[in-house]
Amino acid sequence: MSKPDFLPFTRPTLDEATIQGVVEVLRSGWITSGPQVKAFEAAVSSMLGGRPVRAFNSGTGTMEVALRIMGVGPGDEVITTPLSWVATSNVVLAVGARPVFVDIDPVTRNIDLSRIEAAITPRTKALLPVDLAGLPVDRERLYAIARRHKLRVLEDAAQSFGSRYGGELVGAGGDLVSFSFHPNKNVTSIEGGCLVLNDGREAQLAEQYRLQGVVRSGFDGMEVEVAGGKFNLTDVAARVGLGQLPHLQAFNGRRTQLSQLYFREFAARDAAGSGLGLPMPDFTHSNWHMFQVMLPGERLTIPRAAVMEQMHAAGIGTGVHYPAIHLFALYRAQGWNPGDFPHAEYAGRNILTLPLFPSMQEADVTRVVETLMRILAAARR
């Protein structure tokens, strides 16, 4: 019997039309920022009701620029979650401000909105929530807090492109919204991201900050008013993004189907009885960017790394999204300590991302669940 192919935890789906479109861009000779970037921005803007959109070379660059547009800088504080990719807090440091962490809700795994107001100080300038695994933070409660305290909001929606809240797509409303199009996201532009803005003034500032602060006029006019960076998206990447956008609904629909199957397969094997924690079964709002389980670490004789190693040996890739940010050396040096955020720390030790991507087959889900449950049963205390 042949050994099954290795199943990664994610894999992008690129159609032939997109590949040929990239070839055409390469042959055109215009491969850096140009007409494809403008077309990509327009397409995303159209999806989000016409809001201004500017494309960037990463979802990290979008957030740094967003904070600069908001005027966040030295002496300011930004409240965020400790359970995210470290870029979420690194961009706060990049503008000279201080990230202030608030523990997560163990059910949604998003920032616990009930804890935010206790963390607000006179130095707080903005809120920076994250839609972990594509599940949107409760926008109604979030913006009620922001309004009460006159705070800006930067939505780290890197994982929730195509998710919905209040009947509309994430990004169609709200303050500044940042998306990522990294290869592990629901749609990709290879590397890239976009920032959704409120008006033309903010859009112009975003353009300045993403390319050295330069403003051009006429054939030879150039002015620099702000210290920008190098965050522009290439036309090659934008063409990939343009090819992906028409498939977003189908991609997310398939992710939802596979996630529903995960729940059925785990229920059939009494995952709850084993102590395995499943994600919140939200099939109305989430785009199911990731399917993450919580290992019952206290009931196992082996650590998570050993579980992952055994999964890999069985031909199945897994991931960790994410270690608790405040426990990294960089953030411990700023005064954060183990025990500060117990829910995020528990997740950081035990969360495990399972394979989920549109080209997966139903048999793949069954194989993942059977393998994981077999490993956990053998390692039970």
Same domain for 64 and 93, yes or no, is yes
List phi, psi (to 5°) of 93. -65, -35
Same domain for 239 and 312, yes or no, is no
Q: What is the pLDDT of residue 2?
A: 67
Q: How far is CA 107 from CA 114, 279, 293, in A?
A: 13, 7, 12
6 located within any domain: no
C-alpha to C-alpha distance for 257 and 351, rounded to whole angstroms: 22
C-alpha to C-alpha distance for 113 and 141, rounded to whole angstroms: 7
Output the six-digit token pair for 338: 């183990």
C-alpha to C-alpha distance for 183 and 158, rounded to whole angstroms: 12
**Structural domain boundaries enclosing 335:** 248-378
CATH code for the domain of 132: 3.40.640.10
Same domain for 319 and 258, yes or no, is yes
Same domain for 59 and 183, yes or no, is yes
- Selection from 47, 45, 64 nearest residue 56 by Cα: 64
Buried b or exposed e, range 148-174, using 16+ CB within 10 angstroms: eeebbbbbbbbbbbbbbbeeebbbbbb
SS3 (DSSP) at 93: helix
Q: Tally the domains of the chain.
A: 2
Same domain for 252 and 234, yes or no, is no
Output the six-digit token pair for 154: 């930067």
C-alpha to C-alpha distance for 115 and 194, rounded to whole angstroms: 29
Q: What is the pLDDT of residue 4?
A: 83
Last residue of a domain, one of 220, 247, 274: 247
Same domain for 53 and 147, yes or no, is yes
Q: What is the pLDDT of residues 336-372, one digit of tens each?
A: 999 999 999 999 999 999 999 999 999 999 999 999 9
Q: What is the pLDDT of residue 3?
A: 76
258 located within any domain: yes
Same domain for 94 and 224, yes or no, is yes
> Where do runs of H (alpha helix) occur along the chain?
16-28, 35-47, 59-70, 87-94, 116-119, 139-149, 200-210, 235-244, 248-268, 271-274, 304-313, 329-332, 342-350, 362-378
2 located within any domain: no
Q: How many CB atoms lie within 10 A of CB 265?
A: 19
Helix axes 200-210, 59-70, angle to 10 degrees: 120
Same domain for 187 and 138, yes or no, is yes
Last residue of a domain, one of 247, 262, 284: 247
Q: What is the pLDDT of residues 171-222, one digit of tens each?
A: 999 999 999 999 999 999 999 999 999 999 999 999 999 999 999 999 999 9
Output the six-digit token pair for 56: 């960037």
SS3 (DSSP) at 69: helix
pLDDT < 50 positions in the chain: none
Q: Which residues have a catalytic role annotated?
A: 185
Output the six-digit token pair for 47: 């999806």
C-alpha to C-alpha distance for 195 and 190, rounded to whole angstroms: 17
Q: Which residues pair with 104 in a beta bridge?
A: 111
Output the six-digit token pair for 282: 């939200």
